[in-house]
Structure 1
Amino acid sequence: MAADHEQHPLFLPLIFVGGLLFGFGLGFSHMAQPEVVLNFLQFEDFGLLFVMFGAAIVTGITFFGIKQIRTTAPLTGDTYVRRLKTLDKNVVIGGGIFGVGWGLSGICPGAAYASLGIGNYAILWGILGMFIGAYIQGFWRSTRAEQGSQATTAD
């Protein structure tokens, strides 16, 4: 968010409503059930493919069409810019680790939270693992950055 203006008062409530809508959609489409996701990963149920395709269509229309309607985001005033991430080894390795975790738990992070709403409390172990894994990765990255800056100052 740009520092030259204040956040719109509806910003956080709309994010909350968006999260509720996302969670309800995951529950309604049965994508919050690890069994459904695991069946997709084993090529037995392709319902997830249709859910993802539907989401991609809505996202694509919004992503490419919004610039025709508006030049700035309505609640933040930020301009719409495309952020490009280069395909490097961190993206490939991180994506691989994410995929293995998704395959082992049977659920992606967003659906894990929605899964709590349908009574899957065992997923709390997976959510705890996500938090611990993210913390370890952040600690590891900051340690590497500190070592890199110390090596640069020592030169």
Structure 2
Amino acid sequence: MTRTLYTILLWLALPVLIIRLGIRAIRNKAYRHRWPERFGGGKPAKACQLWVHAVSVGEVNAATPLIHHLLESQPALEIVVTTMTPTGAQRVRDTFGTAVQHRYAPYDYPFAINRFLRRFRPQALVLMETEIWPNIIAQCFAGDIAVVMANVRLS
């Protein structure tokens, strides 16, 4: 029931979200060129085994040792790292280059998440810190995708 109410509220907020994206797209071309990714779309994707969601620069920094370790220990591992901000995206590019794929995270709408999951087909999701997205977690569970929370402090 709570997730249903949350999702209904998200749908009601969609017009505001689209206007906000439009304003940001006018001010920052990073938002303009990649906004379809926010809804699970965007440029062609390569399937990956691991999805790491790190909202911004701080979470990318926290995820960096884990990602480096995984890339060193399993060179064939395909990883997609999602962020919500252009600064987070830039940090991913600066830190990993082409060793990982970067996408903006889909907003927490079931259709966007399903589209993202169909495109990337991850086997596991690592959520950095306290980024708890109810629909992302629910869609992953429904798709038999393991969800791990890393570097988390809950109080």
Higher helix share: 1
TM category (shorter chain) comes to under 0.3
- The two structures have a TM-score, normalised by structure 1, of 0.27
- The two structures have a TM-score, normalised by structure 2, of 0.27
Higher strand share: 2
